[in-house]
Structure 1
Amino acid sequence: MITFKLKFLLAFSFKAKEEKTKKKQKAEKINNKQKLNVIEDEDPPNLIRLDKQQNFCRVEYELLKGKCRYSFDVLCWEKAVKIISPDSVKIFRTVTKNGLVFAPVCVEHQVSELSIGDLTALQSSVIEFQVFIDKKKMGNAAKADKSTIFYVKEIDMDYEGFVEARIEETHLVNSKSISRTSAKAANITNDQNGSVDKEGSFMVYRDDFNELFSDMIEFAINKTRPPHLKFRGFVKPCKMEGSKTDVKKVLKKTEPEIKKKKGPKEKAEKSVTKLNLQIQGETFFTDPEMSIFSVEQYKASVPKFLVAASVNRLLTRSQKIELNPMVVKIKKITDFPSEVFDNTGYTDIFCKFSIPFVAGCTTIEKPIDKTIYFDESHIYFTNHLPKIKLLEYLDSRRFIVEIYGVKRYVTSDITPKIFGENHWDKNIAKVYPNIPKDYTKQFEESQPDYVLLGYCSYDLSSLLRNVWDFRGIAQIHSKECTNFRNISIKNQVPEPYTRSLPVNTINLANINTELNSSFKPVLREWLLMEKGTSLTVEVYLLSPQAPSLVLHQIPNTYKRLMLIALKKQVATQFLSKIWDHNQRIMCQKLDESDLITGFIIDNGNDVIIYIEGLSTGFILNLWNDLNLSNSRQMKIFFNTDQAYENRLYNICSSSCSFYTVILKVPLQHIFKDRRVYVKGNAPLLCWKAITRLHLLLHSQTLTSMLRYELLPSIEELCSLNLEYGVPLTWKLPETDDTASTNTL
């Protein structure tokens, strides 16, 4: 059984008692003199006598669509509270702090196992709690209640928290009315119990419920967050229902109509009769232990309302395996240089992240501060995604979070407000100036600008090693950081088509985007590194992948291998084997899917070779041959446990299936040339290729090359070839005819 636990804390405000007038004081003195001879019994210490002043509210909500619909009424006095629900009636002695009277409500919902459709609906739903502060909305039992006294156990008299009270028959005069009232309430709740909910929704107060409510009261009064509790925000701000429509109606009314209804309108604004509180349904997936939501509305008689939600056994083991949910939590930014944004127009900050084929999310905006708490969690079901895509992302990609700043512009207002604001005010002239429309446009409210401030990245590959959760704190980098300026590899232009393009078309590609984008960062890299600005993120995968099992179930996957040959002879022998294999495929002697593709960079003294081919094909033979060769003559980057769904490089040439670049200057000399790093000296694509290759040669694993996207694209290799390359040369093997020809 699934158990949803909801704990409500309601804070009621009571009006201060009015001072007694002189006439009432004289009348009381006369009554006291008449009652001097009458002997009355004093109330026992465990008796709570209720005042006439009473506050009330009704809470309704629907936890699941068509299921777990529940409601309860709360009658609150200064010293006691009575909760009436369809299944039971509870009475407690209240807790009063800072002029607020608090009342506790604990509800549990027992539900059988949910289907996949119900879980998906709960994940995307918004649970709405409706709080009615209207006598007409109250239930029949609450309307008929006439309680005047309650009793508390003498043992619990000195306890400071909530204490359960009861109704007992005593020798007092109104004891019969109390028992009669309780009997009516019991009959009404029994009648309603059969029609409201049949899936086991009831009020349950555990022995330790006071501990949680004491922390919630402390948060409601002092805004102090205990470290062991998680406080969340509602999805939407709590607003009075119909407030926007009322404003629109008022603006459309004429002058005499507004004058007539001016009085009632002011009274309606002061009283709030309904509150709508919203909670994300995915909260039960992301934070099943406990999440506390709060809302404040000081115009209502219930100024503060808190809800603590938790759930047990929501997902079964089979559902975790089938849905394979991923939970992403954006926690907080620490040591943020907030002083940089003083008097700059920046007001808020939000985060943005994207998981390919899975999710894309933008957090809510938070005010700029030294420590910025987001505490936002989201869950994504990956059952629709092929397992190899998720496996490839976790193993060879980075989880990147972008941090944006919100810049708002303060606009001027040309409307005169010295003598009034509305057109019906008597001091406002009826003659309006003719102001051109072009002049008023510059004073209209403008949309805020969203400026990219920085990035941070995380390695989630540990989720593939039977680790259920990932918790990381990463350094935030400015957008001028080289590791984040590389674009994703896009190999959509085949080599024959690239060669037919003019030089300017290749070298000036994306130049307009680069020039229009302001590269001047708001936050500099040295400042973020000096401050140690970091972002805390948590990622959970409820069903860890088994890479070996996943890869064996997929028929066509590809492996990747990087080779840096330190001698030309080693590279020649290695490439000749690939040449013979590809020629046999071209002659239709072998399967075309086993073609070996990639790129070759002749760097003078050494050769950089990248190849990719079918996982169960010829690339394994090449790997076995490399194991038998001398390791001092080459550097090999290969992982037998990794496989990928697609190729990074398509067939580039019908002759050799490789894109080949022969450099006239070694890369080591290009890296040392200072002119290359001056913006504008080298084409954009060529500069990106140099940047990638510089980081690639300093990498130690193939996984790091793929994770940081260090493999240059075909367009970048083409631009590099045009700037620093020489024409291709082909040396035929020597024969008797060629030898005799050369000697002539």
Structure 2
Amino acid sequence: MITLRISFLLAIDLVEEHAKKLPKKHKKKTKSKAKSKSNKSKKMPETANNSCYKVIEVQNPISYVHIEYELFPKKFKYGADVVCWGPVAKIFTKNGAKVLRTVTTNNTVWVPVFLEHYLNPVPTEEIRKLLNQVISVHIKTGKSSVGAKVKADKKKIFYLHKDDFHNDFFAELYTDKPIDKEEVRKNAIQRILLNLLNFPVNHEIVSWVYNMDDVHAHKICQIIIRRSVGEEIRCKEFCAEEKVAKKDKKKRKKKETKKSGGNYKTDLKIPSHVLLSDPLLSTFQVRETGNRLRQIFILMSSENILTTFQKQQLCPLVVKIRKISHLPFEILTRNGFSQIYLNCEIPDVCEFKTAIKPVCDTVHFDESRFVITSDLPEIKILEMLQTRRAILKILGVRSVSTKNLLQRKGNKKKNKKKEKLNQDKTGDDVALAVATFDLSALIKSFHLFKEKGQCYNMRSVTTEKPPKLDSYLMDRRFTINELNLTECAKNGPNSLLADPVLFWKGTTVKFEAHFLAPPHPLFHIKGASNSYRRLLVIIFNHGVAKSLFDNLLKHNYGILGPGPLLIPNFLAQKRYSVNPDQLNLEKEQVLSGFCVDDDNSVIFYIEGPSNGYFLELVHQITGLNYSTARVFYNSEYLFEERLYQTFQKNFGFLIITLKLPLVDIFTQEKTYIEGNVPVHCFKAIQKLNLILHSSTFKSILSHSLVPTEIELLSFSVEYGYQVRYHFKQLKKSSLFDVKTKNVDLFGQKRA
């Protein structure tokens, strides 16, 4: 059974006249007839009966509030009317009424409205719809907004039980005189009835006005104490309002002013996914209030909204962004940044933006998302957890004054009107810093992942998505401009927050993630047939490199047939005829990748099917000595796609024979002058340099250090020889055959 709890905490201004008038305490009056009839009443003193309760009498109400909300769009609406007399407030609902003694601090009356709803488990389709829905809340003030029951109710005398005499918090009041024995009996019967009535029938929703839940009561007590001192409360943000035309806004304002007559009215939208991502408690605050309503807080919580079967079926991932700590806000404010927000990207899983917050030292977001991972391919989830990172970018909103722009235009009178309407104009959002998180810990267990990630400059971390290579570049000759001037992710202006500043301040982002159930793909994905493996080898012996190259040629030629290697701008020759049916069946067994030969070492990147010749190749390579080669490989890593699918058309590998060793290219000063080297080529140089300094295969994959197809082509055109390899009869060779020395991969002697 699902339990939904929602609380409204209203802060109402207390008029001075009502503040001076204290509630009256009445002594119990006994009639003379009753004294003559019973001797017991004569013996019992009046103070004994008076100690059972206190009488509180109220006069004119100071505020009327109507609350209405829609938990499920067009399915379930519920509302409550609140009448406040100052020390006493009465709550009216469809299912009954409740009277409470309020709490008064600093001439402010705090009135809580706590409601509970019970319903049967919701189907999985409704859970999916709930992620994109909102909970509409409408709050009105004024006597005209409440119902007929409230207007007809004329009770102004209430009773406080003796157990609540010394209770400074909210206490329940009674409309009749409470007697201990009868009260105990009523409470016992009420508990039995409520336990029976709480179970809904079919699709019904049972609702009650209860005493506050312990979690809600504790949070409400904290809010009252902190607000009385002047402290701010950390709350979530409502859904952003949709843009409305100016004419519609003017019409709405006119209608509201005519109808309301000065009364307060607001419409709020709460994201429904909060019930799934933050079931314990979510707090919202209404910033704009009026008509004696100083503050409004909304608290929501849920229990058992997902069944055990639904958790296993949907395999949901809950992502939470807590805060940014130690942000160098002085630098940002000096450069015109007044607001910031975060963009969270979990590759191939989800991407969302947080609410915009003002710039300060510690920025609290408290954003959460509920992501259903069962819709994604199983291998994609495993690949993301093992070899990818969650990327959180800090984006700044720069405010640009428009006064100078308006003064250049025609009439000054028109400009003054425009200045009043548009004092600030937001410019483009600028990426300030980035933090990354490794979620591989969620593979071993589904417990909470919590970490404070260090922030870095945007240019210190590779976060862009690799551009796809146009197929026409592989099917014909291309010019250098066509290659280097293709669309790529433009580097934005260098961020104001350099790495030394972020390290010195200790700027961090607090991030959390956890699965509600063990990730289902991790138990049976190992036997997947349509998966790929990756391998990276740096070989220092050219004899071993040539043997490996011959084996790759022999394997791919056995499937694709003999033909030219993939050398840029030398693809005119066609392959020998191959049976197309056989090619389609065996095409998946082709190995693909790239090879970079710089005379000092040879870098091989190989990818292929998880089962087949690739495993035999791995078995041979892993036996090499560390002085002969460095091998980067992990047998647990599986991938859904190839990185170099385009190279599969022509032998599968791109061979790059460099004019200079990589070390000389890295040390040339002209390489790092902006505009001297094409953008794609420079990215390939950066990634190859980091690969040579990497220690694990995970660091290479998680930081996206493997160059893309277009980056390798640009690097080959700039620094490589344009040669062609002619097919010859290949012989079986072993990787441990090191007799051939001082020859390149094509068998040519080196100078």
Give the TM bin, normalised by the shorter chain. Answer: 0.7 to 0.9
Match of 2:604 among 609, 618, 630: 609
1:164 pairs, out of 172, 176, 187, with 172
Which amino acid letter does the alignment assign opposite residue 113 of structure 2?
V
In the other structure, the counterpart of 1:64 is 72
What displacement does 1:165 show? 1.3
SS at match of 2:495: coil
What is residue 220 of structure 2 aligned with on the other side? 213
- For the 8 Å contact 2:318–2:371, the answer to whether it is kept is yes
Deviation at 1:113, TM superposition (A): 0.5
Match of 2:229 among 219, 222, 227: 222
Q: What amino acid does structure 2 have at the position aligned with 1:503?
A: I
Q: In 2, distance between residues paired with 1:207 and 1:330?
A: 27
Q: Is 1:529 aligned to residue 503 of structure 2? A: yes
1:199 and 2:195 are equivalent in the alignment: no
1:505 to 455, 470, 482: 482
Partner residue in 1 for 2:680: 685
Give secondary structure in 1 for the equivalent of 2:400: coil
Question: How far apart are residue 648 of structure 1 and its match?
Answer: 0.7
3-state SS in 1 of match to 2:155: coil
What per-residue deviation string (whole Å, max 9, x for no partner) do you get for residues 524-583 of structure 1?
232222212111111222234355534346431111111111211211222222222112
Judge conservation of contact 2:100–2:171 (CA < 8 Å) in 1: yes
In the alignment, is the contact (CA less than 8 A) between 2:321 and 2:511 conserved in 1? yes
Matches within 5 A, 1:194-593: 198-205=204-211, 208=214, 210-224=217-231, 231-236=235-240, 247-248=250-251, 271-412=262-403, 445=422, 446-481=425-460, 483-484=461-462, 488=466, 490-493=468-471, 496-497=474-475, 500-510=477-487, 519-545=493-519, 548-552=522-526, 554-587=528-561, 591-593=586-588
Partner secondary structure for residue 408 of structure 1: strand
Letter in 2 for 1:637: F
Q: Partner of 2:403: helix, strand, or coil?
A: coil
Residues 470-496 of structure 1: CA deviation (Å, up to 9, x unaligned): 222112222232x23765263444774
Matches within 5 A, 1:11-26: 11-17=11-17
Of the candidates 711, 714, 721, which is equivalent to residue 709 of structure 2?
714
Amino acid at match of 1:709: S
Q: Percent identity?
A: 30
In 1, Cα distance between equivalents of 2:349 and 2:468? 20
- Between stretches 207-216 and 557-566, larger displacement belongs to 207-216
Aligned residue number for residue 648 of structure 1 = 643
- Indicate if the aligned counterparts of 1:413 and 1:443 stay in contact, CA closer than 8 A: no
1:152: how far off? 0.8
Q: Establish whether residue 85 from structure 1 lines up as the match of residue 82 from structure 2.
A: no
CA distance in 1, matches of 2:540, 2:249: 79
Instruction: Report the equivalent of 1:117.
Output: 125
334-343 vs 106-115, which deviates more? 334-343
Alpha carbons 2:348, 2:384 under 8 Å: kept: no
What amino acid does structure 1 have at the position aligned with 2:14?
Answer: F
* 8 A Cα contact 1:295 1:306, kept in partner: yes
1:655: how far off? 6.2
- What's the CA shift string for 1:446-488, capped at 9, x where partnerless? 443312212221111222222333222112222232x237652
**Residue in structure 1 matched with residue 569 of structure 2 by the alignment:** none
Q: Distance in 1 between matches of 2:513 and 2:414?
A: 52
**C-alpha displacement of 1:48:** 0.5
Asked if structure 1 preserves the Cα contact closer than 8 Å seen for 2:159 and 2:177, the reply is no
Q: Name the aligned partner's letter for residue 112 of structure 2.
A: P
AA at the equivalent of 1:448: G
Q: Structure 1 length as normaliser, TM-score?
A: 0.79
Q: Does 1:728 align with 2:719?
A: no
- Separation in 1, partners of 2:217, 2:465: 55
The unaligned stretches of length 5 or more in structure 1 are 21-40, 171-193, 252-260, 417-432, 736-741
CA contact (8 A) 2:63 2:142 kept: no
Asked if the contact 1:561–1:610 (Cα under 8 Å) also holds between the matched residues in 2, the reply is yes
AA aligned opposite 2:482: T
Residue 662 in structure 1 maps to residue 657 in structure 2: yes
User: C-alpha separation between the residues in 2 aligned to 1:80 and 1:107?
Assistant: 18
SS across alignment from 1:621: helix
Question: Match of 2:637, SS?
Answer: coil
- Residue pair 2:397, 2:430 contacting (<8 A) in 1 also: yes
C-alpha distance in 1 between matches for 2:605 and 2:724: 20
Is 2:83 aligned against 1:75?
yes
Corresponding residue of 1:35:
none
Q: Measure how far apart 1:212 and its partner are.
A: 3.6
Q: Which of 620, 644, 648 is equivalent to 1:625?
A: 620
The alignment partner of 2:695 has SS state of: coil
SS at match of 1:315: coil
Measured against aligned partners, the alpha-carbon deviations of 1:106-129 in whole angstroms (never above 9, x if no partner) come to: 211111110112212222211122
Superposed CA deviations along residues 385-409 of structure 1, whole A, max 9, x for unmatched, are 2222222222222211221111122
| C-alpha spacing 1:103/1:668, structure 2 compared with 1 (3 Å) | same
CA distance in 2, matches of 1:18, 1:468: 53
Q: Equivalents in 2 of 1:458, 1:207: separation in Å?
A: 36
Matching residue's letter, 1:124: N
Could you say which residue in structure 1 is the equivalent of 2:162? 154
Q: Which residue of 2 aligns with 1:128?
A: 136
Supply the AA of the counterpart residue of 1:221.
S
Give me the whole-angstrom Cα distance separating, in 2, the residues matched to 1:586 and 1:63.
61
Is the CA contact (8 Å cut-off) linking 2:7 and 2:114 kept in structure 1? yes
Q: Is the 8 A contact 1:9 1:307 kept in 2?
A: yes
Deviation at 1:434, TM superposition (A): 6.7
Cα deviation, 1:42-71, whole Å, max 9, x if unaligned, reads 998811011224422221112123554322
Following the alignment from structure 2 to structure 1, what is the Cα–Cα distance between the partners of residues 465 and 446? Answer: 30
- Report the 3-state secondary structure (helix = DSSP H, G, I; strand = E; otherwise coil) of the residue aligned with 1:56: strand
SS at match of 1:480: helix
Distance 1:135 1:413, change over 3 A: farther
- 1 CA distance for matches of 2:649 and 2:227? 72
Which residue, out of 700, 703, 711, partners 1:705?
A: 700
Question: What is the Cα deviation at residue 161 of structure 1?
Answer: 0.8
Q: 1:277, CA displacement in angstroms?
A: 2.9
Counterpart residue type for residue 235 of structure 1 = C
- Name the residue aligned to 1:255: none
- Would the aligned equivalents of 1:95 and 1:101 in 2 still touch at CA under 8 Å? yes
TM-score, structure 2 normalization: 0.79
3-state DSSP of counterpart to 2:519: coil
Q: Distance in 2 between matches of 1:439 and 1:206?
A: 53
For residues 488 and 245 of structure 1, what CA distance do their matches in structure 2 show? 44
2:9 corresponds in structure 1 to 9
Q: From the superposition, tell whether residues 439 and 559 of structure 1 become closer, same or farther in structure 2 (CA, over 3 Å).
A: same
